[in-house]
Amino acid sequence: MSDQLVKVRGLKIEGRSDETWNQIVNGVDLDLNRGEVLGLIGESGAGKSTIGLAAMGFTRDGCRISGGSVEFDGIDLVNASAAQKRALLGKRIAYVAQSAAASFNPAHKIIDQHTEAPVQHRVDNKSSSEKDAMELYRKLRLPNPDEIGFRYPHQVSGGQLQRAMTAMAMSCRPDLIIFDEPTTALDVTTQIEVLASIRDIVEQFNTAAIYITHDLAVVAQMADKIKVLLKGDEVEEADTRTMLTNPTEDYTKSLWAVRSFLRDQKPAPAKDAVPVISVENVDGAYGPVQVLWDVSFDIHEGRTVAVVGESGSGKSTTARCITGLLPPIGGKMKLDGQDLPLDYRRRSKDQLRQIQMIYQMADTALNPRKSIGEIIGRPVEFYMGLRGSSKRKRVDELLEQIELDPKVYYNRLPSELSGGQKQRIGIARALAAEPKFIICDEVTSALDQLVAEGILKLLARLQDELKLSYMFITHDLATVRAIADEVVVMKDGRVVEAGPKDEMFSPPHHAYTDLLLSSVPEMDPDWLTNLLQERGTDNIGDAALEKMGGQ
Amino acid sequence: MSVTLMIEILVAIAAFGMLGRSAAQTNWRDSSVGNILGFGVAALILVYLCYVYFYTQGQFMRWLIQGVVIAGVLGFLFKKLGEFVGTQGTRKLFRSMPVTASFGILVILTYAIVAIFAPWIAPYGEEQVFEGVFNTLPGGAAVGGDDRFPLGTDQLGRDLLSRLIYGARNTVGIAFVTTCLTFLLGATFGFLAAILGGWFDQIVSRIVDALMAIPQLIFALLLMTAATTIALNMAADGPVSILFGLVEISGRALVTIFMVIIIAVLDSTRVFRLSRAVGQNIVVMDYIEAAKLRGETLLYLVFREILPNAYAPLLAEFGLRFCFVFLTIAALSFLGIGIQPPLADWGTMVRDLSQFINFAAFVPLAAALPLMAAGAIALLTIAVNFVVDWMLHRSSGLKE
């Protein structure tokens, strides 16, 4: 048995679009030994997932392996028959997908899905593989390991589900597991426990892994060596420490430098200044279920207030209350010192114009059947009453403001733009209304780090030029550090802590703020190990949150 | 064919498949035995059809095979034509189109042209009666017919070719108008229900449920019986004026208008269900929220934001619905309460000539008389379905 598990040579993959085959991976080599963890990083479209899947001998629909070889433990996977692959996949090679919630079949219990592979591959019988599942759940530190498997996927939290999926991948004790962005959809506090448990279990069973992610700090904790990809080409590969301290290529250096964007906090507003938006003791509810309690904060002209918290903390609900889509059941809101009707239907056209919104998913925020010109032109026409050539002129101006060439982009459809460009169009649409106040709902969380940095810089520049006020909803504390003037921390529908950025990022913190801050992965490869030693393995993620709830 | 022979053939195919699986290096290797069996059976059917065509006497079967081959060739030629004529967009469309779809488009175009230019194409009028030429066979004098009437005449001595051509105008035209009305009703209410939700959605949806609970054809029959009586009563003393006295129409035309409205309302329930479901998926999108927050009106939301995103499923449904409406009209006419004689209509023609099917064993050509109208209905239905299939495939493929 040789030490080398995966050997990929000159891998080329083509994808089909517009009736032609375009090469999306241009000859990548990849070597992986037993028990080793390789991190694949790059922007979206770099081909990292495609390469990861190809290491299983698999391509997505509309893709094909057009050249090169993939060998798994001496077996040629490119030319293997379906039957040969069936014998390997699930048994010796396993896959953990990005969204466990979407990957589990909601109609079956978790443990039934867990035992399917061992029973199918005749590795084990049903009852003993159930026992094994419980053992794995215990190792992965899932709560109630003997019982949790008998729940349905929707009865389990996202982080727990992701760990259950890792357990499922382990069910046949594979030689290789491919993790495709397993923690990207999770909050920072839950991310830690998933990372810790993945790392433990990979070490315990001496499993090799390919870890695909775009988060450098995460990969620094997990991988033994890192391969950086750009547009289907390998940029460089080195072991983790060398790569972090001493990258050779310019592209890698630029990736490493992304987190350097930092804005100085603006001086506090005058005492008697009238806030652009003030939210006073707002209670919100979806039907009979109350989700917001007594939320209050002010946003002053030209300032950015970051609202942070985990999913379910009520950040987006607060935004919906301010826009009037979800009229609050208590409290009031003021725009420029004037009372603002709670329901958006009762607001005047001018009040609607003053509050604009930029959405997280630019894909769903732009009507796919309308051209860029129509999308940006509509608010110009609707609010400003401009038509014909004067409208066109204004749209051109807006496009220039967001650094896109009007001649090129005016007639394009959203589907012909990249993610970052779409987000810029979303910004332009908000600007077209000439508002005072813009709500940015996780605007950078769906973007790659380089692109996200560009968007943050653009927003900062626009704020300086147009005296805009932002309410910046995010769960990413690095973004907060970069752009915020004030921070509001939310948990379970309540404001836990609020204040200027500098104060918030320096101790002493509220316990929850402290937990959030310390859970953000850092680029130091020893960070996770140190953190676990400091906090203890049973004091992370859900467990830590529960403890706090008990206090 | 004996059972043993069939088993032997199946075993041969399976063995062939196994051999191919072990020898080949392509997709063939990874396809299942069932797939290969399917290919084998298809090949066998092809061989059987060739045998029928060249060595047996069945006239209709031969016509059928000829028809399918000619259809294929026509479709292919039309596709090639489309690839070289027209704008960049249509050329690209034709290049990616299957032959079935191009054949379907060709047939629909032909029907449209025939319907529009019926008075110029048809050799005689639709109500013109000729003396002494009842039930002439199709095919001209050589096979016992009359050269003046290439497709024969009906039992009153009217030229069948002319009536088929005018029938395209009446049947297809009325079906088209009905389908448009169906969609106007169904889609508008469906999208409104999706946006407004709440009590509006509840009321409209329950009404639709109630309408859908009654079998459609029987309900249509019931309503048509009532409508016919009402219409004839209204028109008892001469033409009725409608649209505030702008137009005067006869009782017969009034029955047709009632029929259009009845079928449109009954069929719009299906369209309502579809557009409500499609609309609900679109309404939750952020761009709808953005438009709402901008303060846009309901009509703008329905027609400018939702409708463009619902084109694909609605267009596909339009094709299908058109076939159903068309068949419903033909069925009602066949039962005698649809389009009223002497207006030419394919459903009525099938009914009037249906007894000739009994003579098929003695005079095959006589049986062709009712089959021509039935064939016209079938051909259009198939053509529309080909096009709809293709559009459905395209719209589902475009979703990334």
For B286, nearest residue in chain A (alpha carbons):
A365
Q: How confident is the model at residue A539 (pLDDT cuts 50, 70, 90)?
A: low
Long-range contacts formed by A234-243: CB under 8 A, 24+ apart: A234/A28, A234/A29, A235/A42, A240/A39, A240/A525, A241/A525
Select the residue of B290, B296, B305 nearest A357 (Cβ to Cβ). B290
Q: How confident is the model at residue A316 (pLDDT cuts 50, 70, 90)?
A: confident
For the four alpha carbons of A180, A185, A190 and A191, in that order, the dihedral sign comes to positive
**Averaging pLDDT over each range in A191-200, A535-544, B143-152, B160-169, which range is the top one?**
B160-169
- By the 8 A CB rule, do A73 and A175 touch? yes
What is the C-alpha to C-alpha distance for residues A90 and B25, in angstroms, rounded to an integer? 24
Least confident range from A168-177, A538-547, B219-228: namely A538-547
pLDDT at B206: 95
Contact yes or no for B285 and A81 at CB 8 A:
no
Least confident range from A286-290, B26-30, B48-52, B251-255: namely B26-30
* Residue B19 to chain A, least CA–CA distance (Å): 15
Best mutation target, B33, B97, B293, to test chain A (most A CBs within 10 A): B293
Residue A236 has pLDDT above 90, yes or no: no
* Residue B90 to chain A, least CA–CA distance (Å): 15
CB contact A370 to B (< 8 Å): yes
Q: How confident is the model at residue B186 (pLDDT cuts 50, 70, 90)?
A: very high
* Residue B89 to chain A, least CA–CA distance (Å): 13
CB contact B293 to A (< 8 Å): yes
Interface of B with A in 90-119 (CB under 8 A): 95-96
Q: How confident is the model at residue B399 (pLDDT cuts 50, 70, 90)?
A: very low
The interaxial angle of helices B160-167 and B364-398, nearest 10 deg, is: 20
For the four alpha carbons of A445, A450, A455 and A460, in that order, the dihedral sign comes to positive
pLDDT at A453: 84
For B281, nearest residue in chain A (alpha carbons):
A364
Q: What letters, b where the CB count within 10 A reaches 16 and e where it falls short, cover B64-88? A: eeeeeeebeebbeebbeebbeeeee
Reduce the DSSP state of residue A358 to 3 states and report it.
Answer: strand
Least confident range from A54-63, A84-93, A103-112, B17-26: namely B17-26
Average pLDDT over residues A130-134: 87
Percent of chain B with pLDDT over 70: 92
- ipTM attached to this prediction: 0.76
Q: Give me B400's structure tokens.
A: 């990334």
- By the 8 A CB rule, do A113 and A105 touch? yes
Q: How confident is the model at residue B191 (pLDDT cuts 50, 70, 90)?
A: very high
Average pLDDT over residues A97-113: 84
Residue B253 has pLDDT above 50, yes or no: yes
pLDDT at A421: 87
Interface of A with B in 309-338 (CB under 8 A): 323-325
Which one, of B231, B213, B218, B223, lies nearest residue B262 by Cα? B223
Average pLDDT over residues B50-66: 80
Select the residue of A352, A357, A364 nearest B285 (Cβ to Cβ). A364
- Please give the mean pLDDT across all residues of chain A: 83
Q: Could you report the per-residue pLDDT of A269-288, keeping only the tens digit for each?
A: 777 788 888 888 889 888 88
Q: How confident is the model at residue A217 (pLDDT cuts 50, 70, 90)?
A: confident
Average pLDDT over residues B279-285: 89
pLDDT at A429: 92
What are residue A440's DSSP bridge partners?
A: A358, A472
Q: How confident is the model at residue B35 (pLDDT cuts 50, 70, 90)?
A: confident
Q: Give me B45's structure tokens.
A: 């059917």
- By the 8 A CB rule, do A176 and A93 touch? yes
* Residue B97 to chain A, least CA–CA distance (Å): 12
Q: What pairing do the DSSP bridges indicate for beta strands A208-213 and A225-230?
A: unpaired
Select the residue of A349, A361, A367 nearest B305 (Cβ to Cβ). A367
Residue A549 has pLDDT above 60, yes or no: no
Residue B143 has pLDDT above 90, yes or no: no
What is the C-alpha to C-alpha distance for residues A448 and A44, in angstroms, rounded to an integer? 7
Residue B266 has pLDDT above 90, yes or no: yes
pLDDT at A284: 87
Best mutation target, B27, B282, B294, B303, to test chain A (most A CBs within 10 A): B294
What is the C-alpha to C-alpha distance for residues A424 and A429, in angstroms, rounded to an integer? 9
Which one, of A334, A322, A313, A327, lies nearest residue A497 by Cα? A313
Q: Could you tell me which residues come within 8 angstroms of residue B98 by beta carbon, excluding any fewer than 6 positions away?
A: B390
Q: Could you report the per-residue pLDDT of A369-402, keeping only the tens digit for each?
A: 888 999 999 999 999 888 888 999 999 999 988 8
